[in-house]
Structure 1
Amino acid sequence: MNLSTQIRLALVDDHTLVRDGIRALLSVIPTVTVVGEAENGEEAMVMVEHCNPDILLVDINLPDTNGLELTRIIRDRHPTIKVLVLSMYDRKEYVTESLRSGASGYVLKNAPSREIVAAIEAIKNGGTFYSAEIAQKLLLDDNTINKLTPRESQVLYKMIQGLNNKKMARELDISVRTVETHRLSIRRKLNIEKPAALVKYAIDHGIISR
């Protein structure tokens, strides 16, 4: 996947192999530059001040702090920096807390590498992104989502996953205009405007199976 604008990215993970793997993955993308690395929260705070990344990839389990608390601090002090949580856990409380902490996405460590690239692209463009496994669980249950048609439910799933209109249209085999119509209908029915708010709505209404 090609990223259209230059992105400064930093990594926070206490496992050197994980950082090495992500750096190697991103090294083939000319528009992404890894500008810093840290293995704990204390190092991350110093690193962010010096490197000023656009996006910070943060693990939940850090030696000296919780990655979600670090996310909250980073977002409070540096609101222009976007945070992507990279975790091995798909538990409801972690996903919920990541959103409340200000993270723009949540990708599982066992997800295909293309999902990390897609997440970076979506977040850089002002959107949100959740691993396919997470996004699928972010769909509302039938009792809550019965306001939506089956096609609108499919579009909502794609929105939660961070897809733009063209990609939704291609995957659902419908026109871009039809996607736009469904998105407008979803916003009206749920009274929600922003994609991040849709994710929060899904979480608040009992989304992720335990």
Structure 2
Amino acid sequence: MITIIIADDHKIFRQGLSRLLADDDRFKLLGEASNGKEALNLIWKEKPQVAVLDLSMPRPDGLEVVSSIRAAHSNTRCIILTMKDDIETVRRALESGVYGYVLKEAAYEEIAEAIVKVADNKLYLGRFQDNPNLYASCCEGQLTNREVEVLRCVVRGLTSRQIASELFISHRTVETHRQHIMEKLNIRTATGLAGYAREHGLI
């Protein structure tokens, strides 16, 4: 069962999502918050696997909460919920360290899918996932979207065969991507790749 907290200053939306999650036996809701300060206090207290955060909530906002969690090296993974559907905001969220980005217009099924994936240490960006401009700043234009996905998997300690299975590509393709990543970044060790990924907000 995946443990979750929700933070959103819109009470009706927050309560509605809370009821849906409470009725889903995959999840255990540990608490709700109406602003960033309450969200951080709840996260430090309950240590949820996933925090679902409103981008624009007050004191501090969603991305500031994510940055605080990341700075504290917390194991809580964050999903941003928002009405903003521009790629620049998605990129800023990714750089802050989010693992999921979901629009508030999404159906519950998509929010639930994002929670499940993020709890499994996977990135969920919905329809933004394959946007060619998504990683332009956080990777300085060096890596393709697929290479970033492979890099995330490498940093998680997955083998090439495990990465191939997770990304639905061949083992040989994974090896090619790994080679390209190392050549582009001029990094030859897993520790070095982990440091790069952390510096650029990929983990």
Tell me if both proteins adopt one fold, taking TM over 0.5 as the criterion.
yes
Matches within 5 A, 1:90-109: 90-109=85-104
Distance 1:17 1:188, change over 3 A: farther
Instruction: Quote the residue 2:170 is aligned against.
Output: 179
CA contact (8 A) 1:111 1:131 kept: no
Matched, 1:188 2:179: yes
Instruction: Quote the residue 1:206 is aligned against.
Output: none
Instruction: Quote the residue 1:175 is aligned against.
Output: none
The percent identity for this pair of structures is: 26
In structure 1, give the amino acid aligned to 2:173: H
Q: Deviations over 1:131-159 (max 9, x none)?
A: 12x11324679xx89x98xxxx8xx39x5
RMSD: 3.5
Is there any run of 5+ residues in structure 1 with no aligned partner, and where?
1-5, 170-177, 203-210
Instruction: Quote the residue 1:120 is aligned against.
Output: 115
CA contact (8 A) 2:97 2:201 kept: no
> Normalized against structure 1, the TM-score is what?
0.67
In structure 2, give the amino acid aligned to 1:37: E
Between stretches 91-100 and 57-66, larger displacement belongs to 91-100
Matched, 1:136 2:130: yes
Distance 1:138 1:116, change over 3 A: farther
In structure 1, give the amino acid aligned to 2:68: I
Matched, 1:37 2:28: no
Distance 1:184 1:104, change over 3 A: same
Give, in whole Å, the separation in 1 of the partners of 2:171 and 2:102. 26
Give, in whole Å, the separation in 1 of the partners of 2:97 and 2:52. 13
Between stretches 116-125 and 52-61, larger displacement belongs to 116-125
Give, in whole Å, the separation in 1 of the partners of 2:16 and 2:176. 41
1:77 to 72, 75, 96: 72
Give, in whole Å, the separation in 2 of the partners of 1:55 and 1:128. 12
Instruction: Quote the residue 1:3 is aligned against.
Output: none
Secondary structure in 2 matching 1:136? coil
Secondary structure in 2 matching 1:80? coil
How many angstroms does 1:63 deviate by? 2.4
Instruction: Quote the residue 2:18 is aligned against.
Output: 23
Distance 1:45 1:75, change over 3 A: same
Give, in whole Å, the separation in 1 of the partners of 2:134 and 2:91. 14
